[in-house]
């Protein structure tokens, strides 16, 4: 395994810059080859990836496929569209510049740093990497040390399939991240919490490095009375408790129309049992909390409110049962921070205005969910709220659509990636204006006498 030593990070960055300067990464055939290599690496290491995710998060094989291995779809999408993405785009010019032509050339920014998160430790490294490769950059990857099995596997995979001058992995904890952030990159993409996101942005500012921050927040889920209750309950249960709730876009809390709240809660209880059995601890389909520390943090959130289902926990085994809490106050700890675990508070409303006002009183979330068949209500929520993304009558699924940009707004992040958005994030749009020699009008040259009136007519 070739993993960069902390003492050699500056040297590694220099080698990547030298490789980038050769121009090889700008070749479209080179990019396509490396994208295909990345796909092949995932296919050939599928079993090892599944085992690593099981070791880190007790992640069921199905969930590993649908949330991690599925990144192959992003690779396929990039391969299919790369020629159109890289093609210079014509741009309009005004009438007085009739003898000019304008084009926009996307070019790679250079060397990028991708810092991943532990909750989806494979996908959240590979998905941004797809955009970086497609755009023609060299990349340094920093997986989360909190998911050590996946981090180690990523280091081995990248060392086997790619030259370190093009892509390499730096493993380690805070010290490794600090050393990386002390260096100059051409773009940094970070996935994680808001507090660390601020540290990343502060470090990047010293080098005037642009950043993409994929953070999180308390993503609300509004449940109107005009719904298919059965479908709604299944989709919420799945979106909340997949990966034991450790998802940045998981429904963080429910805002439920008072008229259907009892039926919804009863349905959620039954569906949790349907999904994970009477004792979720014994279910092969239910993941675990990433660490004892995070488990202990989550257990403290259970002190307030009425637990209507779940609440059982085993800290030593990083287990917390799927839990629903009723009678929650907005001042309770569970409503003061992103939960990032299998705990779902339920808050009722009598008028949609209340729900919208509550959402707008808080930092802008990474995702917003609305279950309603009422089209006018859908439009009202879309127009009156701001969030990184929205999913109507479902949860989480928008993340898996390669053609949709994924990212936050405000406290939930800045910038986006996936598909063309990922290509654009790691590209610079270079504007090129071309003139010809066949004609040279003298209206702009000195002396300016008697030319101002003509200029005013052009402008006005």
The model's pLDDT over 119-128, given as tens digits with 9 standing for 90+, comes to: 999 999 999 9
Quick check: helix, strand or coil at residue 328? coil
The rounded mean pLDDT for the chain is 96
Same domain for 177 and 67: yes
Indicate whether 388 belongs to any domain.
Answer: yes
User: Does residue 443 carry a pLDDT above 90?
Assistant: no
Of 421, 425, 415, which Cα lies nearest the Cα of 402?
421
User: Is the bond preceding 447 in cis, omega lying within 30 degrees of 0?
Assistant: yes
Q: What is the pLDDT of residue 392?
A: 98
- Is 248 assigned a catalytic role? yes
Q: State the average pLDDT over residues 102-124.
A: 98
Q: Which residues contact 73 (CB under 8 A, 6 or more apart)?
A: 400, 402
CB-based contact 364:370 (threshold 8 Å): no
Tens of pLDDT, residue by residue over 303-348, are 999 999 999 999 999 999 999 999 999 999 999 999 999 999 999 9
Highest mean pLDDT among 4-13, 240-249, 447-456 belongs to 240-249
Query: How far is Cα 309 from Cα 322, in angstroms, rounded to an integer?
Result: 8
Same domain for 49 and 60: yes
Same domain for 189 and 262: no
Query: How far is Cα 324 from Cα 327, in angstroms, rounded to an integer?
Result: 10
Q: How far apart are the first and last CA of the chain?
A: 65
Indicate whether 439 belongs to any domain.
Answer: no
Same domain for 290 and 199: no
Q: Which residues contact 394 (CB under 8 A, 6 or more apart)?
A: 235, 239, 369
Tokens linked to 352: 């949609």
Q: What is the pLDDT of residue 2?
A: 41
Under DSSP, the state recorded for 410 is G
CA of residue 278 relative to chain centroid, distance: 33
Element (H, E) at 308: strand 306-309
Indicate whether 459 belongs to any domain.
Answer: no
Q: What is the pLDDT of residue 6?
A: 55
Query: How far is Cα 198 from Cα 183, in angstroms, rounded to an integer?
Result: 17
Confidence of residue 450 (pLDDT cuts 50, 70, 90): confident
Q: State the average pLDDT over residues 427-455.
A: 92
Same domain for 36 and 125: yes
Q: Which residue out of 214, 295, 338, 348 is catalytically annotated?
A: 214
- 4 burial class (0-12, 13-18, 19+ CB within 10 angstroms)? buried
For the chain, the domain total comes to 2
At residue 82's C-alpha, the angle toward residues 413 and 109, to 5°, is 50
Indicate whether 443 belongs to any domain.
Answer: no
Query: How far is Cα 150 from Cα 159, in angstroms, rounded to an integer?
Result: 14
Q: State the average pLDDT over residues 281-302.
A: 97
Of 220, 224, 223, which Cα lies nearest the Cα of 367?
220
Q: What is the CATH number of the domain that holds 358?
A: 3.40.309.10
Q: 3-state SS string over 130-169?
A: HHHHHHCCEEEEECCCCCHHHHHHHHHHHHHHCCCCCEEE
Indicate whether 441 belongs to any domain.
Answer: no
Query: Of all residues in the chain, what percent carry a pLDDT higher than 90?
Result: 93
Tens of pLDDT, residue by residue over 354-392, are 999 999 999 999 999 999 999 999 999 999 999 999 999
Query: Which range marks the domain in which residue 336 is found?
Result: 220-407
The owner of tokens 């204006």 is 433
- 362 burial class (0-12, 13-18, 19+ CB within 10 angstroms)? middle
Quick check: helix, strand or coil at residue 58? coil
Quick check: helix, strand or coil at residue 338? coil
Same domain for 355 and 251: yes
Query: How far is Cα 161 from Cα 37, in angstroms, rounded to an integer?
Result: 7
Query: How far is Cα 330 from Cα 347, in angstroms, rounded to an integer?
Result: 9
Query: How far is Cα 182 from Cα 272, in angstroms, rounded to an integer?
Result: 46
Indicate whether 147 belongs to any domain.
Answer: yes
Indicate whether 437 belongs to any domain.
Answer: no
Query: How far is Cα 12 from Cα 21, in angstroms, rounded to an integer?
Result: 14
Q: What is the CATH number of the domain that holds 131?
A: 3.40.605.10
Q: What is the pLDDT of residue 456?
A: 87
Quick check: helix, strand or coil at residue 367? strand
**Model's pTM, two decimal places?**
0.95
State the maximum Cα–Cα separation within the chain, in Å, rounded to a whole number.
90
Same domain for 366 and 257: yes
Q: Which residue out of 138, 221, 248, 295 is catalytically annotated?
A: 248
Element (H, E) at 201: helix 194-205
Of 128, 170, 214, 205, which Cα lies nearest the Cα of 16?
170
Indicate whether 166 belongs to any domain.
Answer: yes
Q: State the average pLDDT over residues 30-45.
A: 98
CB-based contact 178:202 (threshold 8 Å): no
């Amino acid at each position: 395994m070739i993993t960069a030593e902390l003492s050699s990070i500056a040297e590694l960055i220099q080698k990547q810059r030298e490789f980038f300067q050769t121009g090889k990464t700008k070749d479209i055939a080179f990019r396509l080859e490396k994208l295909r290599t990345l796909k092949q690496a995932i296919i050939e290491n599928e079993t090892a990836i599944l085992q690593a995710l099981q070791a880190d998060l007790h992640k069921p094989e199905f969930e590993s496929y649908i949330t991690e291995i599925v990144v192959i779809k992003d690779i396929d999408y990039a391969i299919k569209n790369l020629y159109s993405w890289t093609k210079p785009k014509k741009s309009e010019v005004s009438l007085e510049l009739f003898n000019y032509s304008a084009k926009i050339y996307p070019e790679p920014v250079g060397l990028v740093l991708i810092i991943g998160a532990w909750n989806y430790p494979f996908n959240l490294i590979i998905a941004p990497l797809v955009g970086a490769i497609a755009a023609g950059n060299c990349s340094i990857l920093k997986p989360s040390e909190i998911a050590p099995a996946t981090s180690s596997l990523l280091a081995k995979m990248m060392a086997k399939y790619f030259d370190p001058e093009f892509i390499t992995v730096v493993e380690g904890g805070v010290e490794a991240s600090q050393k990386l952030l002390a260096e100059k990159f051409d773009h940094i993409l970070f996935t994680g919490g808001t507090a660390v996101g601020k540290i990343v942005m502060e470090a990047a500012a010293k080098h005037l490095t642009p950043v993409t921050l994929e953070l999180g927040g308390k993503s609300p889920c509004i449940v109107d009375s005009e719904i298919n209750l059965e479908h709604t309950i299944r989709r919420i249960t799945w979106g909340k408790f997949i990966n034991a709730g450790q998802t940045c876009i998981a429904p963080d809390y429910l805002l439920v129309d008072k008229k259907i709240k009892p039926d919804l809660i009863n349905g959620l209880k039954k569906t949790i049992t349907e999904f994970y059995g009477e004792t979720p601890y014994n279910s092969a389909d239910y993941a675990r909390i990433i660490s004892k520390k995070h488990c202990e943090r989550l257990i403290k959130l259970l002190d307030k409110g009425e637990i209507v289902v779940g609440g059982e926990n085993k800290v030593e085994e990083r287990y917390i049962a799927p839990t629903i809490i009723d009678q929650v106050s907005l001042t309770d700890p569970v409503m003061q921070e992103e939960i990032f675990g299998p705990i779902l508070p339920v808050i009722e409303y009598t008028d949609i205005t209340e729900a919208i006002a509550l959402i707008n009183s808080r930092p802008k979330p990474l995702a917003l969910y609305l279950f309603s068949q009422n089209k006018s209500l859908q439009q009202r929520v879309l127009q009156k709220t701001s969030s990184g993304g929205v999913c109507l009558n479902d949860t989480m699924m928008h993340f898996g659509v390669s053609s949709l940009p994924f990212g936050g707004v405000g406290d939930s992040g800045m910038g986006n990636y996936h598909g063309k958005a990922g290509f654009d994030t790691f590209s610079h749009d270079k504007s090129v204006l071309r003139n010809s020699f066949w004609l040279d009008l003298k209206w702009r040259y000195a002396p300016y006498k008697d030319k101002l009136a003509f200029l005013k007519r052009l402008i006005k």
